[in-house]
């Protein structure tokens, strides 16, 4: 098994991995069965992302998912994960009003789910909030570059950090680092800029659409393993085609039921 060598991955391992040049693997997870498989596979970090709004709940954006919905999903993941660090997204509307609101939401998530850390979108403008959560004893992963909760303000899923945006990205990364985050997700950022930010900050960068030189990589599992049969972003590599396998299996089952060939005698009680 590659990646972080630890029985239980903790935030300090992210600093060690960065120092040693050991790539950190991360995937999203929103249920117990996927969490236990990814955990067994040695994935270092499982993110209960608010992308659950899209890939679990079928919504167009992440904006509508609630803290209550995130908690149900996160509980299932923490119960199943034995080794991976479990991080839960603070959903839109649950932290922006004040650092106090963010601390209250984070405390609730930590108490009710058993997660190990929270993730929050935003850079310079969220530094005080990140600091307040960290001061409450809760590890924080930042998220800068394209931040889906601001997709209407950003004008859609647009690459961030190009041209003069590179300076903003660097300022955001430094602010998240200075506020005490243990890692930061860089989403949809030119590879060279992500590499530069990765060299310049002391906390681990986890890339999604940020090229090969970040300290770790994360993908939404339904995209990476092909359960999502729709169009995916350029940065997604498809490692499996679960959507087609499931479609074939469901069709075969439907045919078997129609033909009364399921269940057979050995699948029935005497």
Describe the crossing of helices 67-80 and 32-40 by its angle, rounded to 10 degrees: 40
State how far the alpha carbon of 222 is from the alpha carbons of 27, 75, 149, 229, in Å. Answer: 10, 19, 19, 9
To which residue do tokens 């997870």 refer? Answer: 29
Q: How far is the CB of 139 from ligand KIV (least distance, A)?
A: 16
Query: Can you say which residues are annotated as belonging to the binding site?
Result: 50-51, 89, 119, 121
Residue nearest to ligand KIV (CB): 49
Counting Cα atoms < 13 Å in the Cβ hemisphere of 213 gives 12
Give the residues lining the site for ligand KIV (CB under 6 A). Answer: 28, 47, 49-51, 89, 143, 185, 187, 208, 218, 220
Query: Can you say which residues are annotated as belonging to the binding site for Mg(2+)?
Result: 50, 89, 121
Cα–chain-centroid distance for residue 212?
17
Name the H helices within 57-215: 67-80, 99-113, 127-135, 151-154, 165-178, 191-200
User: Is-contact 235 207, C-beta < 8 A?
Assistant: no
Enzyme catalytic residues:
187
Residue closer to ligand KIV, measured from CB, 127 or 144: 144
Residue closer to ligand KIV, measured from CB, 25 or 28: 28
Query: Can you say which residues are annotated as belonging to the binding site for 3-methyl-2-oxobutanoate?
Result: 50-51, 89, 119
Residue closer to ligand KIV, measured from CB, 50 or 177: 50
Of the candidates 234, 231, 226, 176, the residue with the CA atom closest to the CA atom of residue 208: 234
Residue closer to ligand KIV, measured from CB, 39 or 89: 89
Rounded to 5 degrees, what are φ and ψ at 34? -65, -40
């Amino acid at each position: 098994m590659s990646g972080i060598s630890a029985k239980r991955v903790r935030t300090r391992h992210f600093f060690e991995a960065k120092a040693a040049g050991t790539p950190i693997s991360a995937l999203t997870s929103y249920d117990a069965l996927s969490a236990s498989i990814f955990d067994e596979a040695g994935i270092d970090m499982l993110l209960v992302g608010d992308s659950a709004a899209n890939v679990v709940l079928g919504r167009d954006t992440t904006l509508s998912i609630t803290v209550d919905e995130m908690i149900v999903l996160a509980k299932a993941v923490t119960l199943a994960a034995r080794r991976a660090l479990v991080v839960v997204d603070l959903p839109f509307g649950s932290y922006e009003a004040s650092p106090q609101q963010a601390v209250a939401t984070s405390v609730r998530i930590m108490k009710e789910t058993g997660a190990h850390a929270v993730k929050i979108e935003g850079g310079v403008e969220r530094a005080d909030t990140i600091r307040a959560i960290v001061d409450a004893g809760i590890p924080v992963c930042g998220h800068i570059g394209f931040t889906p909760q601001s997709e209407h303000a950003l004008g859609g899923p647009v690459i961030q950090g190009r041209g003069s945006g590179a300076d903003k990205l660097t300022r955001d990364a430094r602010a998240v680092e200075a506020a005490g985050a243990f890692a930061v997700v860089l989403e949809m950022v030119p590879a060279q800029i992500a590499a530069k930010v990765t060299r310049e900050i002391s906390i681990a960068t986890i890339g999604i659409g940020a090229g090969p030189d970040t300290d770790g990589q994360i993908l939404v599992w339904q995209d990476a393993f092909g359960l999502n049969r729709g169009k995916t972003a350029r940065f997604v590599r498809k490692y499996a085609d679960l959507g087609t396998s499931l479609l074939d299996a469901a069709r075969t089952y439907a045919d078997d039921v129609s033909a009364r060939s399921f269940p057979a005698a050995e699948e029935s009680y005497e």
